[in-house]
Amino acid sequence: MSDADATYWGEPNTLERGGSRIHYWVVGPDSGPLVVLTHGATMDHRLFDAQRQPLVDAGYRVLAWDVRGHGYSKPIGTGFSVPLVVEDLCAILDHLEYDEVILVGQSFGGYVSQELLFRSPERVSALCVIGATDITTTPPLLESLALRFSPYLFWLWPDRHLRKTIARYTAETVDAQRYAYSATCQLSKREFITVWTGVADSLHDEPAYRIEKPALLTHGESDRTGTIARDAPAWAAREPNCQYEVIPNAGHNANQDNPTVFNDLLLEFLREHVPVT
């Protein structure tokens, strides 16, 4: 762990599960509602550096973690899938004795957050999604096939060029691109493919399902990842409790590219739906 990271987030807690030592950090007032921050595929907890202090200053307790195989949570363990990662997160929450939490997830972390809500709605008081599609809607056939075959394409892609391309398409600001590149370099090529295979297998069709908790759906105005920007308006329109916001001057890692706008939206949403008492 770098000195800067240890100073900002403190020393991590660890939990052994399924062959992985999962690292997580908890900061903020003990009495505040718990906000769980889950990063995207190939990123780590540092994705949320700019959200930590504003949430704590507003009275919220914050849990950030490195999903198995990412950051400090090594090795990747016995497998990788959205259900397994959800079980990892629930194990952390059980250990900390939290029955109900606020979920904030970016990209793959948005899938994890949605899946936890789908499986255990009683554990979630509110949801914020950053740059992700609806996990309970499967794409058209050709898009579905492209997603499922994408891990094979990544095997063939020269490693260094792949990581640079991800960084360039993930963020708009130079600092966020540098972070994205450094984060992806923490995974081996094999770990990268294992993770992406889990992403590709995560969607399941539930046409009658609706999110019954307050939901904030966001993405960057320049998000070029998959069909996120295209599909978000229709998804938001289907949901009875959804607030939809596009983050200006931001790409896929919108909370990093434009933390000022994102943080204001998130805190306003939380104050309305899960206020600190």
% pLDDT > 70, the chain: 98
Q: What is the total count of domains within the chain?
A: 1
Looking at residue 42, its pLDDT comes to 96
Looking at residue 8, its pLDDT comes to 85
Q: How far is CA 186 from CA 75, 207, 264, in A?
A: 11, 37, 31
Looking at residue 253, its pLDDT comes to 98
Domain that holds residue 72: 3-273
Low-confidence stretches of the chain (pLDDT beneath 50):
none
Task: Return the sign of the alpha-carbon dihedral for residues 10, 124, 231, 67.
Answer: positive
Looking at residue 1, its pLDDT comes to 54
Looking at residue 139, its pLDDT comes to 78
What burial letters (b/e) apply to 66-76, b meaning 16+ CB within 10 Å? bbbbbbbbbeb
Claim: this prediction has a pTM higher than 0.85: yes
Question: Which helix or strand (DSSP H or E) is residue 80 part of?
Answer: none
Looking at residue 142, its pLDDT comes to 78
Residue 158 maps to which CATH number? 3.40.50.1820
Strands across the sheet with 242-247, in order? 13-17, 20-27, 61-66, 34-38, 101-106, 124-130, 215-220, 242-247
